[in-house]
Structure 1
Amino acid sequence: MLLYLHGFRSSPQSFKSRVVQDRMRAWGVEKYFACPMLNVSPSLAIAQAEAAIRGARAGGETDIAIIGSSLGGFYARWLAEKHGCRAVLLNPAVHPWTDLERYLGEQPLYHGGGSVVVERKHLQELLDLRVDAITRPERYYLLAATGDEVLDYREMIAACPGARIRVIEGSDHGISEFEEYVDDVLAFCGYTPNGKTVA
């Protein structure tokens, strides 16, 4: 299974999520794609991701890979450490318990209307999910854009020593040219135009 974790205030309708799903559909491996609508509560979001992983394993899927964008990248690091799976981090949040301090209260969602309420307890939930140091760095692939207007790409690099790292000159937080990188990302996760390659 390939589990895509979207970012803060985003959804399964995010640009990068749709690019990944569309490419997997074109390659005939869309059945492996999963992208839950994550709860604003970090502990509940992690529970959703873990439920997806358990479901995949119960269905016979032993090979799990995760793509996480922004806050989803923060979650992906924690999940990769716990489950020993590969993770692609797209402009990941490194210390969201401080980044989200300024977003306390009601916040509009990017897709489909609606809003979420960020509570102070959510910051502690994020702190509880921090990963002080990654292990087995070869299972991580970081894409970090120098033009990220939200997060500092240098902090992302410092948080992933030994990982495969692609520094994108310029760009933005959303990696608006992500279609240029999706094949490489999927190859790292074990997918090619010929199907699934990692057993």
Structure 2
Amino acid sequence: MDSLLYLHGFNSAGASPKAQLVAAACATLTASGERELICATPDLPHHPQAALDHAEACLGALPGTTLLVGSSMGGFLATCLAERHGLPAVLINPAVQPARFVADYQGQHLVNAYTGESFVIGTAHHEQLLALQWSRLVHPQRYLLLLGSADETLDCRDALRAYAGCRMLIHPGGDHGFSELARYLPALFAHGGWTLPTVV
């Protein structure tokens, strides 16, 4: 793997703590002198199709083979790209059927705490997610899932069923934000063929 693309969750940003933690680890790997690891943590639009289009454009701009990393909604988008391009992916508490989740928030006004963007969840969000929904994984061995057993936003059992056959690491009592991500960075990077130094 020559590069890493991190896709943040819904109403988050590339400046989120998880994205920055992954980016810092990429910088550490590059500084270790093994080889340069290009890392991209783009801000994604809130509309699902636009988010996927932007993520795919970022993917196309990265060199060599890319490891996809996605959290929550970003995990859903990473799955779409992994299936489309045959790439490995690490998914952190991925959204499995986000259209079902978004349907409960129709009409709600949200503000992105990182970018300041203000928007309303409309029918377009729901319709686009339905259109993007994947049905089965062609190569489950390409995936590593990091799941929190006490995810307060998404039921981790949905991911256990949808990603059956994939390698999974379950953090007991882990929350949706997966606050213990630092402990799992060696496994995350190993999935892309990198050995992370002991100190990050």
Q: Same fold (TM over 0.5)?
A: yes
Partner of 1:162: 165
Instruction: Return the alpha-carbon distance in structure 2 between the equivalents of residues 103 and 62 of structure 1.
Output: 39
Question: What is the TM-score normalised by the length of structure 1?
Answer: 0.90
Q: Does 1:140 align with 2:146?
A: no
Instruction: Return the alpha-carbon distance in structure 2 between the equivalents of residues 110 and 168 of structure 1.
Output: 27
Instruction: Return the alpha-carbon distance in structure 2 between the equivalents of residues 117 and 172 of structure 1.
Output: 26
Q: Given the alignment, which residue of 179, 185, 189 partners 2:188?
A: 185
**Structure 2, unaligned runs of 5 or more:** none
Partner of 1:7: 9
Q: CA deviation at 1:100?
A: 1.0
Preserved contact between residue 142 and residue 164 of structure 1 (Cα < 8 Å): yes
- Structure 1 residues 39 and 30, CA gap change in structure 2 (3 angstroms): farther
Secondary structure of the structure 1 residue equivalent to 2:191: helix
Q: CA deviation at 1:30?
A: 6.8
Partner of 2:43: 37
Q: CA deviation at 1:182?
A: 1.2
Question: What is the TM-score normalised by the length of structure 2?
Answer: 0.90
Partner of 2:133: 130
Partner of 2:154: 151
Deviations 1:164-185 (A, max 9, x none): 1111110100011111111210
Partner of 1:49: 55
RMSD: 1.5
Q: Does 1:81 align with 2:87?
A: no
Instruction: Return the alpha-carbon distance in structure 2 between the equivalents of residues 192 and 19 of structure 1.
Output: 16
- State, as a whole percentage, how many aligned pairs show the same letter: 38
**Structure 1, unaligned runs of 5 or more:** 195-199
Instruction: Return the alpha-carbon distance in structure 1 between the equivalents of residues 14 and 182 of structure 2.
Output: 17
Q: CA deviation at 1:112?
A: 4.4
Instruction: Return the alpha-carbon distance in structure 2 between the equivalents of residues 52 and 113 of structure 1.
Output: 22
Deviations 1:26-47 (A, max 9, x none): 1216751011110011111111
